[in-house]
A and B are shown apart, each in its own frame.
Chain A
Amino acid sequence: MSLLDMIGPVMIGPSSSHTAGACRIGLISRAVLGRAPTRARIGLHASFAKTGRGHGTHLALVAGLLGFAPDDARLPRAFEEARAAGLEVEFYETNLGEVHPNTADLDLEGEGVRARVVASSTGGGLIEVIRVDGFQVAFDGASPTLLLKYRDTYGVIARVAGIIAEDHVNIATLTCNREKRGGLALMSIQLDAPLSDHAVRTVAGLSEMSWIRRLPKVVG
């Protein structure tokens, strides 16, 4: 939360939590998929489902999936833009349990890739990603973020942290979750600065890695 969050963001109305935040959820979800989505099934929870239409939440989520920022003038025409871009979108109402009332569950498909992202819009345009492909995560899109899917093994976290340290980048937050001991795990690392291409390649080259995504800053 900085001064520029208080006077800002510059955005297309009408609601910072329903519109700007929703657009940023779309943007970060697109980055998790790693390419332009061709199909999206989006579950809307609580307030997103109940008051989303009037607040442009549906438009904003689609705008984000198309790569538009919250202040992009094309946001109100996001449905037409999606048709032109070959993105098929379907919305449904869902109940995600004890999560923030402004939460969306996005199931995305692109050419040969698939991703599932659950994220909340927490007010004033801020967001919190809480689930990726079924794994619990916790990152807010306010700094460059690295997502890694890997096989849970002795020392992986230390090796990744070591590569990041050698790149002279500081880790702000790190969460890991695994399906079971020795099974697949997902790590999200929020960084103070973007990692160099070389360091990203080194991390991706570790034998345990099955998937890596470099997410841009979408908040602030």
Chain B
Amino acid sequence: MTLEEIMNAPAPASQWVLEEDCRESGLEPQDVLTVMRDRIREMRDSVERGLKSDAKSITGMVGWNAKGLWEAEDRLNAPLLKRVQAYAMAVNEENARMGRIVAAPTAGSAGTIPGALLGVADHLGISDDDLVMPMVLAAGVGRAISRQMYISGSAGGCQAEIGSSAAMAAAAVTELLGGTPRAAVHAAALALMNTIGLVCDPVGGYVEVPCVSRNAFFAVHAVSAAQLALAQLESFIPPDEVIGAMAQVGRMMPLQLRETAEGGLAQTPTGRRVTARMEGRED
């Protein structure tokens, strides 16, 4: 299963993903959907528990953030944003206090899909029954990613893990809101492309791809940060130490990943082709 195949499937993409997976596993589609429905209920339970609890995690570093945000005044008047953030944190705080959660695709990234998919559904008044097929699509996108890449932070880096969950969530939300298979898969790719971390990888060295879409993503990122801070959430690591950590990671990165167009998106087959064309040569 590749993203390309999902993108070119007849709509809805989730139906193709389900049939393709069942052909391989020998499972009946109905059985997969039944389990998927259970997992949505489990996600919902973990969101509810997480929003209510302020019990500390094992280490005592987190545990009250989701409840704090959920109960805080919404000064941005952005209920969707707040809901998505609070749901996501609720699940991961449940995880941190050894509560019951659904790994999606991992436990460390378990909050992203319920945050995005359940958050959007609740904001718009969509029932859980309508989330089953988008969840199947999320799983299919996860499968496609895991064909090429490690999806655990320990093997692929943190952004591989959280980026995968974001890509899965992006595709699911897109299908839920009527997007085509093509739109859903491109939503996944955009989300993934913006979780490559500190890497500066402009295609051909031009400040265009991925820079333009990254500005859109990070504008939301900035508003997210403000939303959390307005609800009295604080960075556990002191701000200057955060800068220090970032500087350290930057120094540890090879030169190819620092705006030289010698790594990351700039060195994908498409990136290299565009570069060659700009320079008037064949790649």
Contact = CB atoms under 8 A, between A and B. Distances in A.
Interface in B1-60: 17-18, 21, 24-27, 32, 35-36, 38-39, 42, 57-59
B82 to A, nearest CB: 23
B25 A13 contact: no
The secondary structure that dominates the B interface is helix
Given A12-B98, A14-B98, A123-B151, A7 B107 contact: no
Contacts of A75: 98
Contacts of B99: 12-13
Interface string B84-113: 000000000011111111111111101001
B100 A7 contact: no
Contacts of A125: 103
A54 interface: yes
A33 interface: no
Contacts of B58: 14, 54, 56
A56 B59 CA distance: 11
A2 B59 contact: no
A15 B92 CA distance: 10
Given A12-B98, A14-B108, A56-B58, A6 B154 contact: no
A10 B107 contact: no
A47 B107 contact: no
Q: Which of A2, A59, A71, A192 has the most CB of B within 10 A?
A: A2
A13 B143 contact: no
A169 B137 CA distance: 32
B168 interface: yes
B119 interface: no
A20 interface: yes
B142 interface: yes
A6 B94 CA distance: 19
B108 A10 contact: no
B98 A15 contact: no
A124 B152 contact: yes
A17 interface: yes
A56 B36 CA distance: 26
B105 A3 contact: no
25 contacts: A2-B24, A2-B27, A3-B21, A6-B139, A7-B102, A7-B105, A7-B138, A7-B139, A10-B39, A10-B101, A11-B102, A11-B103, A13-B95, A13-B99, A13-B110, A14-B98, A15-B107, A16-B152, A47-B154, A56-B58, A59-B98, A101-B154, A123-B106, A125-B103, A192-B26
Interface of B: 17-18, 21, 24-27, 32, 35-36, 38-39, 42, 57-59, 94-108, 110, 113, 135-136, 138-140, 142-143, 146, 150-152, 154-155, 168
